[in-house]
């Protein structure tokens, strides 16, 4: 056996649902690493030569399952999550999901959990635009822990929402709160923007997580603030993320989080 063959990276087959701004970034990151091969499911874009010769386009969820990926990354939308993720989990394929806001639908959550138990598959919730989920989950094991998540973005990210609430003039004077309440309702109202809030709620528990959505003219980056209070102590985390150039409501780091979560599943250290 030659040294080259002994050290050759094993092929790692990753299914990718969606090839928009986030999906393209995920593909680029994974294909920059040796050994990864992608099956990209998209019906709205032609991947062409954008994903290189280690990627192929797949036009249906049945085709993606038949391709037998080791893991699937959902990088599309809450609707795509609801339509396609259960099929992957039912086939025994783990899924790293970007659109965790879809889980604000209690019926969808109630359907997915038994599938995972029965098929020994896993729905992996990446950190996305935030961090510290391990700390939050640990603190939340104490029943008296409470978590507040604040999404703070420039008014330009909320133009239509500000107008519909009649706050166009108020926001020129300072920060305005567009929503304050529970995580499920926040994700329902802002399905493309509040994945981070639901991610935190999944770690802390919905009953002890409060979400605030703020349009703030003083910030120029997507900002996430997490405040944790309880008998185990107090913590505050703040993340200032560069917006994705192709979608300012999404943080650029989101794609890197999806890629990191995927790569970690193949690693020796978990």
Q: In the annotation, is 224 catalytic?
A: yes
Decide: 59 and 43 in contact? Cβ < 8 Å: yes
Decide: 128 and 257 in contact? Cβ < 8 Å: yes
Decide: 226 and 237 in contact? Cβ < 8 Å: yes
Give CA–CA dist 17/24, Å, rounded: 10
Decide: 36 and 15 in contact? Cβ < 8 Å: no
Give CA–CA dist 30/34, Å, rounded: 8
| Alpha-carbon torsion angle 200, 204, 206, 212, nearest 10 | -50
Give CA–CA dist 94/101, Å, rounded: 18
Query: How far is Cα of residue 199 from the mean position of the Cα atoms in its chain?
Result: 8
Q: Of these residues, 135, 146, 224, 229, which one is catalytic?
A: 224
Give CA–CA dist 164/32, Å, rounded: 43
161 CB burial (10 A radius; 0-12, 13-18, 19+):
middle
Give CA–CA dist 127/261, Å, rounded: 8
Active site residues: 224
């Amino acid at each position: 056996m030659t040294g080259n063959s002994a050290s050759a990276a094993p092929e790692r087959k990753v299914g990718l649902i969606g090839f928009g701004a986030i999906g393209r970034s995920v593909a680029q990151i994974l294909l920059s690493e040796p050994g990864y091969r992608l099956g990209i499911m998209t019906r709205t874009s032609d991947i062409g030569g954008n994903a290189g010769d280690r990627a192929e386009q797949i036009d249906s969820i049945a085709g993606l399952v038949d391709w037998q990926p080791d893991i699937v990354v959902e990088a599309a939308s809450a609707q795509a999550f609801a339509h396609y993720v259960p099929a992957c989990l039912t086939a025994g394929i783990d899924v790293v999901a970007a659109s965790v806001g879809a889980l604000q639908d209690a019926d969808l959550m109630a359907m997915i959990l038994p599938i995972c138990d029965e098929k020994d598959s896993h729905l992996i919730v990446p950190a996305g635009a935030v961090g510290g989920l391990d700390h939050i989950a640990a603190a939340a094991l104490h029943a008296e822990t409470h978590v507040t998540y604040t999404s703070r973005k420039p008014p330009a990210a909320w133009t239509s929402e500000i107008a519909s609430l009649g706050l166009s003039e108020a926001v020129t004077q300072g920060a305005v709160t567009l929503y304050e309440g529970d995580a499920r309702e926040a994700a329902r109202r802002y399905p493309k923007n509040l994945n981070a809030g639901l991610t935190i709620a999944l770690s802390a528990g919905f009953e002890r997580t409060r979400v605030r959505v703020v349009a703030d003219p003083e910030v120029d980056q997507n900002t996430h603030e997490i405040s944790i209070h309880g008998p185990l102590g107090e913590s505050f985390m703040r993340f200032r993320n560069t917006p994705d150039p192709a979608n300012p409501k999404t943080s650029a780091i989101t794609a890197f989080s999806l890629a990191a979560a995927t790569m970690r599943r193949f690693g020796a250290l978990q």
